Structure 1
């Protein structure tokens, strides 16, 4: 496929369009979905290794929180730079680097025999941004009115990868141990790398670079803070980004603490933990079908309110009804719905607010928002869990999202009718 054309962005037609066969664009999007699903598979396979290996090496809850924070700090700085790298050098180069880093990550994990090695094996995560780059490919090649729907389909990939990775990881870890499981992750990541080299084109931009004033200025630096800050000056970008950070914090706290909750609160073994994560994946796939239907029929502002409103209810449920695994499984459905809808809508709104030539950098910033939250999340979550119990995490979910929901609702009612439309 990549022999036929080095780029999907070359066009002799009007600006913002592509002369490439739409069927070819669809095939590249499908390969991007496949690579995303595989990346999530290896990520959840790693979840079946790291917490149990950390426990064997003598990590307590606080030390494991430091390990999670290390990843957040590394990816916090790597996200926007990697997104900028994708905008400048194209999707194939960015995905090649990301998949290669994932191979190194698993090889280091397989050979982690002392506590320090668990921290060292996290260093390649500075380049491990496969999902934002595949999102960039999908966003670049999708029509503007179908962008939210196309991005929501990546949630299906996430669900498939969650089921496959958690089930495979749990089975491999139980039968063969952490080391072989990590080597399987390295081999799988190498397969993802081959798909990138064979099927992903060098560039996926559908807007000519000449349409972007920044490109005319000739600024090609990956480390340009000014180029990254420039995106925040586009209309509504800064506000949506702040909402993404504030409303996303409670969910990230729960995500980073889930491994500890599974081990310490629910007392799950690796195989049982794998089955629970596989259940998450099934719920995720069902939820994505609903989200795809919603994004095709309702405005994004309404869907953002819906996502945050459901998150408030999830917080209440976490406070009152999360004493057993069964109760938790019931809460998972609205939780996954809220998380997925919030992520899809905010990512779509942000990528629509910037030129196509900057979608990689924008999605890199979105990834960095998650990394920033993962930097503070383990410390906050560990403190809440150890001092106030699991219900305190639900209380933070309810209170923070309630404040954001009221803010958005008041802002909506205070706007003129034309602006609401």
Structure 2
């Protein structure tokens, strides 16, 4: 593809990602209140979140491998179709059993990793962090639109109408994929695959796990999981915290999520690109982990939603920089033909956090309260910060 065509595909990919995040956050505004109406307590809601985490944990690496083998269009189409089924089942969720069943299509719902693969394939290595950061801008737009829509639609027209709206939106995303995303976005896939003699099987675990043997990958991946665990726990429990600790209604929670989106849009659209142009990725990784540790102290001491709104700014900054930098470092450490699988593993890391997060978070919330999330975040990130300082090391780019 010529540069103009590449840029057009990247812009369409940004749009598809923004729409997908919109429908995802619309669902986030529905599920907690639907679960409460069906009689779920904090522990059972944690089980529901854990179910989603397990499903996506299993699906992430396979989806990434599927994207590498069959191409971007097939991967994104599969994700959009899964989202349609997911929201259709949500409209039918009138019992505890159906609320769990509607989560099953989440095994294929990986539009954001698919979009990251397209952007990583079509962007230059030196501009990759900035290009991936712009996907965070799309995330912020989707968070604002989805949270506002979800709260408003579910309050005024009911939860089933809001879920149906999201199903139609997923179909629109599918049409965009079919019409604008090329079948394959990788330049060197065929030649490199033939040279390595690698298997074309999607379920080849050896092809997935071998990426951990590349220089620097295991260390970065371990840091991504350990430092991200406290944030993952807080995120999966936030809907419960908003309802019980902050005493927010569905519409108010939607406005708060929209505020998160605005902050993230500013950070990922206007800040990260400038930072990556001036500072090394390792320095930015240290900065994000250090700030995240201080954010933990703020979370431990907050008493109301107004104090939390001030904490959100450094929290979203550290989280955004951390995710973009670690994803960029990991994709640069593997061959271009393996970026999809690598991003699938990154998605599985997030799913792992959502798997263990609800169980840990439910226990901490019931036993020690909201401040416990902040103290764990402070201690964990402080330890990771010291580890990075002591071991040093810079990301090692892939060399054929």
Q: TM-score, normalised by structure 1?
A: 0.92
Counterpart among 358, 368, 371 of residue 351 in structure 2: 371
2:297 paired residue number: 316
Superposition pairs of residues 217-366 of structure 1, within 5 angstroms: 217-288=197-268, 289-320=270-301, 322-366=302-346
2:78 paired residue number: 97
User: Offset of 1:211 from its aligned partner?
Assistant: 2.5
- Residue pair 1:70, 1:122 contacting (<8 A) in 2 also: yes
- Residue pair 1:102, 1:189 contacting (<8 A) in 2 also: yes
Superposition pairs of residues 12-411 of structure 1, within 5 angstroms: 20-212=1-193, 216-288=196-268, 289-320=270-301, 322-411=302-391
Mapped partners of 2:79, 2:284: distance in 1? 32
Q: What does the per-residue CA deviation read over 1:367-401, in whole Å, with 9 as the maximum and x for residues that have no partner?
A: 00011111100011111111001000000100000
- Residue pair 2:67, 2:114 contacting (<8 A) in 1 also: yes
- Residue pair 2:292, 2:318 contacting (<8 A) in 1 also: yes
1:16 paired residue number: none
Q: 1:238 to 1:182 in 2, by over 3 A?
A: same
Query: RMSD of aligned C-alpha atoms?
Result: 1.4
Q: State which drifts further: 54-63 or 290-299.
A: 290-299
Mapped partners of 2:157, 2:178: distance in 1? 31
- Residue pair 1:34, 1:157 contacting (<8 A) in 2 also: yes
Q: 1:115 to 1:359 in 2, by over 3 A?
A: same
Mapped partners of 2:189, 2:376: distance in 1? 45
Mapped partners of 1:105, 1:295: distance in 2? 37
Mapped partners of 1:66, 1:211: distance in 2? 43
Mapped partners of 1:372, 1:21: distance in 2? 38
Q: What does the per-residue CA deviation read over 1:312-344, in whole Å, with 9 as the maximum and x for residues that have no partner?
A: 110011112x21110000000100001110000
- Residue pair 2:42, 2:362 contacting (<8 A) in 1 also: yes
Mapped partners of 2:102, 2:272: distance in 1? 36
Mapped partners of 2:193, 2:290: distance in 1? 37
* 4+ long deviations beyond 2 Å: none
- Residue pair 1:99, 1:189 contacting (<8 A) in 2 also: yes
Q: What does the per-residue CA deviation read over 1:133-164, in whole Å, with 9 as the maximum and x for residues that have no partner?
A: 00000000000111111001111100100010
Q: 1:71 to 1:294 in 2, by over 3 A?
A: same
- Residue pair 1:212, 1:355 contacting (<8 A) in 2 also: no
User: Offset of 1:209 from its aligned partner?
Assistant: 2.3
Q: What does the per-residue CA deviation read over 1:232-269, in whole Å, with 9 as the maximum and x for residues that have no partner?
A: 01010011000001000000000000000011111111
User: Offset of 1:208 from its aligned partner?
Assistant: 4.2
1:5 paired residue number: none
User: Offset of 1:218 from its aligned partner?
Assistant: 4.4
Mapped partners of 1:409, 1:305: distance in 2? 8
Mapped partners of 1:167, 1:65: distance in 2? 24
Give the SS at the match of 1:304.
Answer: helix
- Residue ranges of structure 2 left out of the alignment (5+ in a row): none
Mapped partners of 2:190, 2:316: distance in 1? 38
- Residue ranges of structure 1 left out of the alignment (5+ in a row): 1-19
Report the number of matched residues. Answer: 395
Mapped partners of 2:189, 2:78: distance in 1? 24
